[in-house]
Amino acid sequence: MVPDQLREWHAAELQALNAQFAGRPPEDLLIWAAEQFSGCAALTCSFGGTAGMVLLDIVARHDLPIAIVFLDTDLLFPETYRLAEAAARHYGITVERRRPALSIVEQEARHGPALYDRDPDQCCGLRKVVPLAEALRPYDAWISGIRRDQTAQRASTELLQWSAKHGLLKLSPLATWSEREVWSYITAHAVPYNPLLDQGYPSLGCAPCTLPTGATDGRGGRWSGFAKTECGIHT
């Protein structure tokens, strides 16, 4: 028999699991993932948005054997780097920091300056999409904080989905949560979060591609001037 960790999950199994975990708290799915994948599950946390911090808090509270992966594009806000360090100390966890193959200087030499202003899709590909694929290679399950109400592209997010792109199970324990529910959890559990979210940034990514809009939720302020709403790691 093929161990669960080495096989593809099929639609009927995922449908049953999605029904099993529907309406239940996210910790139930995270605890199940920790047991099912015994050390081969990874949570990606950007240290920008709040949802990743909620999941990180649950993982730490339950001391789950789930790796914490931080994709560092080398272009994040200083506040984001400081939160990553502070959260690691606060929870006593190790954060697996993954960076692109090319430094900013090397990228500029090869592709010209400020690629994000000319071709953000290529820049995201080099600095996010490829590094994520490499970071996920050792894992059998990928946990992320995306939610259905964030963008039209995320509206069909399931709690559990097979990711053909990465050949693993993708879990989105907060798929059905609202922005209000996320903030309620943050407040109730005194979860550390990025201070820029209190300074008019509704969503945080790389500094060159993120503007404050004054809104309190949504994905506004990202890639201003482009139709782009996703970096490509969730598409």
Taking the C-alpha atoms of residue 153 and residue 189, their distance in angstroms, rounded to an integer, is 30
- What's the length of the chain? 235
Helix, strand, coil tally for the chain in percent (to 5): 45, 10, 45
Could you tell me the smallest distance in angstroms from the CB atom of residue 205 to ligand SF4?
5
**Which range touches ligand SF4 (CB under 6 A), out of 26-34, 165-173, 190-198, 202-210?**
202-210
Active-site residue flag, 123? no
Closest CA to 144 of 2, 202, 136: 136
220 near ligand SF4, rule: CB under 6 A: no
Rule CB under 6 A: choose which of 47, 77, 91, 116 binds ligand SF4.
116
231 near ligand SF4, rule: CB under 6 A: yes
Closest CA to 130 of 98, 91, 163, 89: 98
Rule CB under 6 A: choose which of 9, 34, 49, 127 binds ligand SF4.
127
In the complex with ligand SF4, the residue whose CB is nearer, 31 or 211, is: 211
Contacts of 172 (CB under 8 A, 6+ apart): 143, 144, 145, 146, 147, 157, 158, 159, 160, 161
Taking the C-alpha atoms of residue 47 and residue 90, their distance in angstroms, rounded to an integer, is 13
Could you tell me the smallest distance in angstroms from the CB atom of residue 1 to ligand SF4?
42
144 near ligand SF4, rule: CB under 6 A: no
123 near ligand SF4, rule: CB under 6 A: yes
**Which range touches ligand SF4 (CB under 6 A), out of 138-146, 155-163, 192-200, 204-212?**
204-212
